[in-house]
């Protein structure tokens, strides 16, 4: 077999196998320069010399399996979502959001303003910037929703909590690529903004194209790695039978917080009320004025949102302020 043919088949076999922990990190970048962005989002800095993927990941405290699955996915190599560490992947996705919202998209806008006439004399230029700004607003809402709702849900899952009102399929069902509008913007500029020899505009167009590709890749990582990995955890929790629903946990936490907001004196008064004592009896028992007892009871009602003696009795028993045998029949 000719050496060129042998080299071709060897590369093809390596590509089919995927990257391994023992591969040199610089070889990954040599094969696919887009992996520089992936490394940055994992917090891996350059200057790693001839170190292996494993050594570089350990040096930067990065989950080796998660890094390799993302790298293999981006490089169109075999990947396994089952190997992913969700906390590590969520950290990666959050860093990607920060990169897009805090760096890349604002950078494109600055270059766009510099490349086209935004003085108001050119209506097309004004509309191009307006189109871009509206697009960035959509991307921001998309990513903030993921940060605040979806990733928070995953953090609860990692603690063993399920949510009756949300699951990852709800997110997956409405998750759509967010890079397609950049393709539309690129097309608008090419078709309707005639300006010759504008190197700045050509450069920003290239930035827009690369950003579109990066955003689409980001969305595919969420669809093909993140969503299946989360769904697997959901299934494992349900099969285990040991899951706790967040509304139950929140209810328990809320009751604990309510109890904690009562002062010691207010707790004493709750106990007295459960024993059938009126305001005068409570005042005498605790060496307070009737007016002070009345004020405390009003504050207790406002804090607990309980306005009946029966409700206070139930509250006191549930929160172990009294035993049921202590209650006056």
Whether 92 is in a domain gets the answer: yes
23 and 135 in a single domain? The answer is: no
Q: How many structural domains compose the chain?
A: 3
Task: Please give the pLDDT value at position 254.
Answer: 52
Q: What is the extent of the structural domain holding 209?
A: 83-244
- Are 58 and 198 contained in the same domain? no
Same domain, 220 and 312: no
Asked if residue 56 belongs to a domain, the reply is: yes
Annotate 274-301 with b (16+ C-beta within 10 A) or e (fewer). Answer: beebebeebbeebebeeebbeebbebbe
Q: Would you say residue 257 lies in a domain?
A: no
Of 58-67, 75-84, 105-114, 189-198, give the lowest mean pLDDT range: 189-198
Q: 148-155: which pairs have CB atoms within 8 A and are 24 or more residues apart?
A: 151/90, 151/93, 151/94, 154/86, 154/90, 154/230, 154/233, 155/90
227-240 helix and 151-158 helix, angle to the nearest 10 degrees: 40
pLDDT at 12: 47
67 confidence band (pLDDT: 50, 70, 90): very high
Among residues 21, 49, 79, which one ends one of the domains? Answer: 79
What's the pLDDT score for residue 161?
A: 82
- One domain, residues 141 and 157: yes
Do 289 and 218 lie in one domain? The reply is no
pTM of the model: 0.70
Distance of alpha carbon 327 from alpha carbon 275, whole angstroms: 5
pLDDT at res. 8: 42
First to last CA, the chain: 98
Residue 204 within a domain: yes
The pLDDT value given to residue 91: 95
Question: Which of residues 214, 244, 274 is at a domain's end?
Answer: 244
Q: Are residues 304 and 203 in the same domain?
A: no
CATH number at residue 317: 1.10.10.10
- Compute the average pLDDT of residues 106-122: 86
Do residue 141 and residue 205 come from a single domain?
A: yes
Tokens of 187: 């097309």
Query: How far apart, in whole angstroms, are the C-alpha atoms of residue 77 and residue 31?
Result: 12
| Greatest C-alpha distance within the chain | 104
Specify the higher pLDDT residue, 5 or 230: 230
217 and 96 inside one domain: yes
The residue to which tokens 């917090």 are assigned: 43
| Shared domain check, 96 and 69 | no
Is the same domain home to 124 and 29? Answer: no
Residues 193, 170: one domain? yes
Mean pLDDT of the chain: 85
Higher pLDDT, 51 or 189: 51
Q: Are residues 90 and 218 in the same domain?
A: yes
CA distances to 9, 11, 33, 218 from 21, rounded to whole Å, are 22, 18, 18, 23
Name residue, tokens 């350059």.
46
Write the pLDDT tens digit of every residue in 19-51. Answer: 999 999 999 999 999 999 999 999 999 999 999
């Amino acid at each position: 077999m000719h050496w060129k043919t042998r080299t071709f088949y060897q590369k093809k076999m390596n590509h089919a196998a995927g990257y391994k922990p023992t591969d040199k990190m610089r070889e990954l970048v040599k094969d696919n320069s887009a992996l520089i962005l992936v490394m940055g989002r994992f917090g891996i800095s350059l200057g790693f010399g001839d170190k292996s993927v494993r050594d570089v990941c350990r040096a930067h405290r990065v989950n080796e399996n998660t890094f390799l699955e993302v790298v293999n996915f981006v490089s169109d190599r075999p990947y396994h979502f089952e190997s992913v560490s969700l906390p590590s992947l969520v950290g990666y996705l959050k860093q990607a959001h920060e990169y897009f919202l805090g760096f890349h998209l604002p950078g494109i806008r600055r270059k766009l303003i510099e490349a086209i006439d935004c003085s108001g004399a050119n209506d097309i230029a004004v509309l191009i910037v307006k189109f871009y700004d509206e697009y960035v607003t959509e991307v921001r809402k998309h990513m903030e929703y993921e940060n605040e709702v979806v990733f928070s849900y995953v953090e609860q899952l990692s603690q063993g909590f399920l949510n009756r009102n949300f699951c990852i399929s709800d997110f997956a069902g409405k998750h759509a690529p967010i890079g397609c509008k950049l393709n539309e913007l690129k097309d608008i500029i090419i078709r309707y903004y005639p300006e010759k020899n504008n190197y700045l505009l050509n450069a920003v167009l290239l930035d827009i194209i690369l950003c579109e590709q990066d955003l689409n890749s980001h969305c595919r990582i969420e669809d093909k790695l993140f969503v299946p990995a989360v769904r697997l955890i959901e299934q494992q929790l349900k099969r285990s039978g040991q899951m706790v629903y967040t509304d139950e946990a929140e209810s328990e936490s809320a009751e604990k917080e309510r109890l904690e907001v009562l002062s010691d004196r207010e707790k004493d008064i709750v106990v007295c009320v459960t024993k059938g004592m009126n305001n005068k009896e409570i005042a005498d028992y605790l060496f307070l004025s009737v007016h002070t007892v009345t004020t405390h009871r009003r504050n207790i009602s406002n804090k607990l949102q309980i306005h009946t003696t029966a409700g206070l009795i139930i509250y006191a028993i549930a929160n172990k302020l009294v035993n049921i045998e202590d209650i006056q029949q």
